[in-house]
Structure 1
């Protein structure tokens, strides 16, 4: 059973992680960043052939998001 928290009379919100949606968002962004790092390793090793600019943009955006955490 997921613990819930009462909000505005009868609305209940599940308490995930530390009880905030922001913690959940940070976990998702961290997972996204780890996927980007893995993609970068494939790109450097030469296994990721033909990824082009979209791959580099994906990695750069992921690093930017990670810095915002």
Structure 2
């Protein structure tokens, strides 16, 4: 259950941060983060969401 919660929460934060960085909607200095780095953050966020989803599936399989 904890894997699911942490995966979903951290994945959501990483995906939204990556989208913010990709479209330069952040208040940091322009050019501090490249587009590739922003896409990498989005990819890690999606991967973390997948781990959270698999944690949810595993919990449901175990619980029922």
Query: TM-score, normalization: structure 1?
Result: 0.43
Comparing both chains, which one has the higher relative contact order based on Cα–Cα distances under 8 Å and sequence gaps of 6 or more?
Answer: 2
Query: TM-score, normalization: structure 2?
Result: 0.45
Bigger Rg, structure 1 or 2: 1
